[in-house]
Chains A and B, each alone.
Chain A
Amino acid sequence: AQSVAQPEDQVNVAEGNPLTVKCTYSVSGNPYLFWYVQYPNRGLQFLLKYITGDNLVKGSYGFEAEFNKSQTSFHLKKPSALVSDSALYFCAVRKAAGNKLTFGGGTRVLVKP
């Protein structure tokens, strides 16, 4: 079975400070990893993905994520957070060989001015 853990229900950060949202996964075989963001009353928006290659992946809106195979982690980062980054963030994993997309429980990010 595959699973995703987002250990923090909420992350608070001051505007301009670095933002990190943690994600660890468990899956057999090679993983495909994704980050999505959800704003109130909206569907999920795709931020970035790791399929293969460079462990540092750059995505939309200045976000990036680092794939660490030994720690089975895929943490989302942004060097300088904006108030508009306040939203619900989801990490997801899928087996390369084909399976359902499994989401973590989500982390609410609150960026204070």
Chain B
Amino acid sequence: KAGVTQTPRYLIKTRGQQVTLSCSPISGHRSVSWYQQTPGQGLQFLFEYFSETQRNKGNFPGRFSGRQFSNSRSEMNVSTLELGDSALYLCASSITGTQADFSYEQYFGPGTRLTVT
């Protein structure tokens, strides 16, 4: 099976712009989560989607949003970019069989490195 894929791998944006990142999960995986990784804050949870519905959300401002499509592919959007949004954005998928099952491990993509100038 192909792993989690993320596009683009690298992105340079200017402060104030918006950006959309894409994630394709492993075939059959219905849960997709997004994380922000920075040297200072480490790995921080952004949000998780299951069957096109957001079921968990981290402590990020409303500029960060996401969605999931019927084929489980997911996108996250960051509007009005700030310098502090520069980070590695990781997408992870899991096979989670049911809405209430949180025991499955997540499989991560290689990430999108976003640089805001």
- A residues touching B (Cβ–Cβ < 8 Å)? 32, 34, 36, 41-46, 49, 51, 90, 94-106
Contact = CB atoms under 8 A, between A and B. Distances in A.
Interface stretch (B63-71, B78-86, B107-115): B107-115
A43 B111 contact: yes
A32 B43 contact: no
A46 B4 contact: no
Most buried by B among A45, A49, A95, A100: A100
A44 B92 CA distance: 9
Contact of B102 (A32, A45, A46): A32
A42 B44 CA distance: 17
A102 to B, nearest CB: 7
A102 B33 CA distance: 12
A99 B102 CA distance: 8
Contact of B110 (A43, A51, A96, A100): A43
B48 interface: yes
A1 B104 CA distance: 21
Contacts of A46: 105-108
A43 B103 contact: no
A94 B44 CA distance: 13
The 9 closest A-B pairs by CB, nearest first: A43-B108, A103-B43, A44-B108, A100-B45, A46-B105, A51-B103, A43-B110, A100-B56, A105-B42
Nearest to A92: B43
A34 B105 contact: yes
A74 to B, nearest CB: 14
Nearest to B108: A43
Contacts of A103: 35, 42-45
